C-alpha cells in the first residue's frame, strides 16, 4: 500500500513537471495572474533540442562560427513559483563559473544591467573568461573552457522567475549579439 501511494505521488509530480516543459511557448491571452507562461521567439538559426530535465523549459544549440570547436548553448529554466533562488544569488553563481586568466576578480569584470521588457523585470549579466561550471550537478567534474562567454538573465514573472543561460565560445556568443537581444525583446508573460 505504501509503495502504491509513493508511486502515485511520483507519477503526479512527473506529470506536473512535464506539463511545464512545453508551456513556455504557449500563445494564450495576456493576463496579469500567475496562470500565464513566459513566451518568446527564438531566432531561426537556433536549433531546438530536446530538454534534458523537467526544469528546462527549452534549450537550443547555437551553431559555432568558423574557428570555434564548440557550439553555443541557450537553456531556459523554470523551477516553480518561489523556487530557484534570487536574481542576485543566481548572478553571483554564474559569475563564479568564470575565471579570469590574469587572476582578476570575475565579479569586477561582469557587466550587469536591469531592464524592463514588455512589463517584465529582467536582470542580466555578461562575462567572459575560462568557463569552469560543473558539467552536471553533483558530478564533481568541471568544465575548463578558455575563451568562453556567458550571458544570463533572470526574468521575473507573476508565476515566478525564469532563468536564461547562454554560454559558449566567445566568438560564437559575440556572433549572437543581435539575435540574443531580439530574443530578449520577445519575452512576454501571457
Share of the chain above pLDDT 90, in %: 76
Pairwise CA distance, residues 173 & 171, whole Å: 6
pLDDT top residue among 17 and 133: 133
pLDDT of 20 above 80: no
Span 78-112, pLDDT tens digits: 999 999 999 999 999 999 999 999 999 999 999 99
- 189 φ, ψ to 5°? -105, 115
- pLDDT at position 135 is 85
pTM of the entire predicted model: 0.81
Q: For the structural domain made of 2-189, what CATH number should be given?
A: 3.40.1000.10
Pairwise CA distance, residues 128 & 168, whole Å: 10
Span 112-165, pLDDT tens digits: 999 999 999 999 999 999 999 988 878 888 999 999 999 999 999 999 999 999
Amino acid at each position: 500500500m505504501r509503495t502504491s501511494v509513493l508511486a502515485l505521488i511520483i507519477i503526479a509530480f512527473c506529470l506536473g513537471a512535464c506539463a511545464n516543459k512545453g508551456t513556455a511557448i504557449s500563445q494564450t491571452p495576456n493576463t496579469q495572474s500567475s496562470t500565464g507562461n513566459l513566451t518568446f521567439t527564438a531566432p531561426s538559426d537556433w536549433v531546438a533540442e530536446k530538454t534534458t530535465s523537467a526544469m528546462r523549459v527549452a534549450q537550443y544549440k547555437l551553431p559555432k562560427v568558423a574557428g570555434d570547436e564548440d557550439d553555443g548553448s541557450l537553456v531556459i529554466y523554470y523551477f516553480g513559483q518561489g523556487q530557484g533562488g534570487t536574481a542576485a544569488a543566481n548572478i553571483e553563481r554564474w559569475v563564479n563559473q568564470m575565471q579570469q586568466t590574469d587572476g582578476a576578480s570575475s565579479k569586477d569584470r561582469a557587466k550587469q544591467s536591469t531592464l524592463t521588457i514588455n512589463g517584465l523585470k529582467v536582470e542580466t549579466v555578461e562575462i567572459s573568461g575560462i568557463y569552469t561550471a560543473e558539467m552536471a550537478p553533483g558530478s564533481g567534474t568541471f568544465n575548463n573552457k578558455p575563451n568562453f562567454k556567458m550571458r544570463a538573465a533572470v526574468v521575473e514573472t507573476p508565476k515566478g522567475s525564469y532563468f536564461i543561460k547562454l554560454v559558449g565560445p566567445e566568438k560564437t556568443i559575440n556572433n549572437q549579439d543581435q539575435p540574443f537581444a531580439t530574443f530578449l525583446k520577445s519575452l512576454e508573460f501571457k
